């Protein structure tokens, strides 16, 4: 009996010692159940709610997701294909030495903007020029062929028509209210990777003399624009259309932070004119304008208004029996105003005249040898450039 008592006492002493050691060195072992004894330890973290941005009607501060959700569905991708033959493909000697080259398929890509629920799509003329087939791809993966309604190479715009139901439509903004420094978004399909959104600011307004189009009044932006963005949308931070992305300045072929967009005010005029008339109807008066330099102003006796600089565009040539000649405008005259609007540069004069309605007389304010002369000019319709095909 004494031996059993000693064995019991020793066993209890060993167990208490073990319990004391565990309590001191590994107290967490005593808090776990038998099923959790071998489970790895985990850190306790606090996670943010997983509600998607905008699902509760709000977005993180600074987010432009609401503008993208509004505008992006109305921006489409445009795929074009053209069948091209070698220029000398019909020459017997060429075929003798090089064989029949056959027709080669060339493809192109760009972007476009759905402007109306009945399927009118605005894009750049250079995107669809000479294309045999045009395919429009929406953000919801729907695909359809497009018909060219009309083109305007002088502004590098084109109008397409697609026939699909429940089309998303772009909301138009006001490019006339833009200011340098305003934040903008560029939406398109660069390099064919899929719809992409970039952001930046308005870097400059009224860019011209770039040699891109006949009528130039570009919005310059530093939002990244790359090949494939042509014809896509430039929007404000509310998702309203401000312009059609058209060109970039680049030495490498990629974005260098200088992109150009056609203002929506110009794009809307071209769209309406093409839909109504099949072509853009512009005014024309038959003059050859030139920039007014101080030397020319002195030569032709042009005097500035009191307290103002010399402004206007000098007429270097007048077409015989043209609208300007019939109204009495002569070479050496300086056009100061067109229909009450001031004129400072050649591009501004062209834009003012183009906006006139053919057959409707408009007042021109002209300086001639230091005197101001009022001339009422009845513009004709601007002739279509040579080489343009009627669509």
User: Which runs of E-coded beta strand occur in 176-294?
Assistant: 183-188, 196-207, 218-221, 233-235, 241-248, 259-263, 283-284, 287-291
Catalytic residue among 111, 152, 155, 156: 156
Catalytic residue among 155, 203, 230, 347: 230
Work out the number of other CB atoms within 10 angstroms of the CB of residue 142. Answer: 14
Per-residue burial over 210-231, b if 16 or more Cβ lie within 10 Å, else e, is eebbebbbbbbbbbbbbbbbbb
Q: Is 277 a catalytic residue?
A: no
Strands 233-235 and 241-248: antiparallel
Closest C-alpha among 236, 258, 235 to residue 247: 258
User: Which runs of E-coded beta strand occur in 296-342?
Assistant: 313-318, 334-338, 341-342
Q: Is 140 a catalytic residue?
A: no
What is the SS3 assignment for 204? strand
Burial of 261 (0-12, 13-18, 19+ CB in 10 A): buried
Q: Is 156 a catalytic residue?
A: yes
The CA-based angle 286-291-292, given to 5 degrees, is: 110
Q: Which pair of tokens denotes residue 51?
A: 């509600």
Rounded to whole angstroms, how far apart are CA atoms 173 and 243? 9
Q: Which pair of tokens denotes residue 380?
A: 């004709």
Catalytic residue among 126, 203, 255, 339: 126
Work out the number of other CB atoms within 10 angstroms of the CB of residue 367. Answer: 25
Closest C-alpha among 122, 63, 159 to residue 243: 122
What amino acid positions are annotated as catalytic residues? 126, 156, 230
């Amino acid at each position: 009996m004494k031996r059993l008592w000693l064995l019991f006492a020793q066993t209890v002493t060993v167990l208490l010692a073990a319990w004391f050691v565990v309590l001191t060195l590994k107290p967490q072992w005593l808090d776990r159940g038998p099923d959790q004894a071998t489970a790895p330890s985990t850190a306790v973290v606090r996670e943010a709610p997983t509600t998607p941005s905008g699902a509760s009607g709000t977005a993180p501060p600074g987010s432009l997701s609401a503008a993208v959700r509004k505008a992006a569905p109305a921006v489409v991708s445009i795929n074009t294909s053209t069948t091209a033959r070698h220029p000398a493909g019909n020459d017997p000697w060429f075929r003798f030495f090089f064989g029949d080259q056959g027709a080669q398929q060339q493809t192109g890509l760009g972007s476009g903007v759905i402007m109306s629920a009945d399927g009118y799509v605005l894009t750049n003329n250079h995107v669809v020029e000479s294309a045999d087939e045009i395919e429009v791809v929406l953000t919801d993966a729907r695909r359809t062929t497009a018909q060219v309604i009309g083109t305007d190479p002088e502004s590098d715009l084109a109008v397409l028509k697609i026939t699909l139901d429940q089309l998303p439509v772009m909301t138009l903004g006001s490019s006339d209210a833009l200011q340098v420094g305003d934040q903008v978004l560029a939406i398109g399909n660069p390099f064919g990777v899929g719809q992409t959104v970039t952001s930046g600011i308005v870097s400059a307004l009224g860019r011209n003399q770039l040699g891109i189009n006949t009528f130039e009044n570009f919005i310059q932006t530093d939002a990244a624009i790359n090949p494939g963005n042509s014809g896509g949308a430039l929007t404000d931070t509310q998702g309203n259309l401000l312009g059609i992305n058209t060109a970039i300045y680049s030495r490498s072929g990629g974005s260098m932070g200088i992109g150009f967009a056609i203002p929506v005010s110009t794009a809307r005029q071209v769209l309406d004119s093409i839909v109504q008339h099949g072509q853009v109807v512009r005014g024309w008066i038959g003059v050859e304008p030139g920039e007014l330099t101080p030397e020319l102003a002195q030569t032709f006796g042009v005097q500035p208004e009191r307290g103002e600089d010399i402004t206007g565009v000098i007429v270097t040539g007048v077409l015989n029996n043209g609208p300007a000649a019939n109204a009495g405008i002569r070479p050496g005259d300086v056009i100061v105003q067109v229909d009450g609007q001031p004129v400072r540069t050649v591009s501004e004069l062209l834009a003012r005249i183009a906006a006139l309605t053919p057959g409707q007389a408009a007042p021109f304010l002209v300086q001639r040898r230091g005197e101001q002369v009022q001339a009422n000019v009845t513009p004709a319709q601007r002739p279509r450039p040579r080489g343009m095909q009627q669509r």
